[in-house]
Amino acid sequence: METGSTSQEAQARLARRPRPSPPALPCAVQLQVAAVSAGIDVINRRRGGTVSVNRCLYSVADRLLRVRADPRPDSSSGVRSADFTVDASRGLWARVFSPAASSSPAPPLPLPLVVYFHGGGFALFSAAQCYFDRLCRRLCRSVGAVVVSVEYRLAPEHPYPAAYDDATDTLRYIDANGGVPGLDDGVAVDLSSCFLAGESAGGNIIHHVANRWSAATSNTVRLAGLLSVQPYFGGEERTESELRLDGVAPIVNLRRSDFWWKAFLPAGASRDHPAAHVTDENAELAEAFPPSLVVVGGFDLLQDWQRRYADVLRRKGKQVQVVEFPEGIHAFYLFPQLAASAQVIEDMKAFVESNRAASSWAQESSGR
């Protein structure tokens, strides 16, 4: 970790450089980003040494952004959705997205399973909100998968390790159920080809849950890969990209990031806690830890942490593919107006196809 004097020297060097210009975004995206950023700042509250989220105000925004599951295939993608409960006592549920059932009398070919976790600094957003509902429909249609989007509990009311526990228990529920609830009879899912996907905090969640799950040996659900889009990692050190892009890059800045870590991590923990700070020393990865696709955006101030994370996986002997989008802001792939959003979906599709369980993929390919 950098010492205080070294960090000050880095800041001084960066201060002498010209500040980068904000990324050029379409007007509609600029307005949405500005609205989200302003809303976050109103909802996040600091009082002395404690942090909280104004859930009254949050609930207003949540109601405006929520969409219902729809069992009818939508006209644009042919994707249907349904909600199922994992554990009502803690409000743990998920939304499943699937293609319309085939009318063919032949048995349906099994589709890979993508279990998705939304971002929001562990403290904000929902699987039912329009941005994530729309994204999961795109994943279902474009990747050709059944997608399960998990509604995990939020910090600071439910700090570490609640999100990890909810994610693991959702996998256990699917495993014990022998499949995914809410699917038509004509839709089959391949539990041996399960991919965990998430952006930002969701990318952090899938790393830690994959390590838990891969250490077990008796699960029917087999993790075939991780789709980690701009995963949220950090530390006490201020990296070059954090210092260079703070106040320039939209959505995530240092003030908001520090708030979210304080909301999620155990009381008194620093950002060097292993949940946030994945290093060679604390990343004891299971032998069966799956291959990873790591997506990095050039206008995301977290990018240095994301590259370091990929380097840790490589040094631990794990397969990792890094895809860089130089103009990508944090959460860029949630905005279909951005060309890079379509490209990252294509990258995810290619990764899923190349990492599916060999037997099921061969069976499906031979049936074409």
Helix/strand/coil for 182: coil
Where does residue 178 rank: exposed (0-12), middle (13-18), buried (19+ CB within 10 A)? exposed
Residue whose structure tokens are 């002997």: 317
Outline where the chain has alpha helix (H): 4-15, 27-43, 55-65, 130-139, 162-177, 201-214, 240-245, 254-264, 303-315, 339-355, 358-366
Neighbour-count burial for 59-75, b at 16+ CB within 10 Å, e otherwise? eebeeebeeebeeebee
Count of CB atoms situated within 10 Å of the CB of 340: 20
Residue whose structure tokens are 């604390």: 282
* Residue type at 294 in one-letter notation: V
Count of CB atoms situated within 10 Å of the CB of 34: 13
Tokens of 307: 């590259």
Question: Angle CA(331)–CA(148)–CA(198) in degrees, nearest 5?
Answer: 25
* Residues belonging to the active site: 200, 300, 330
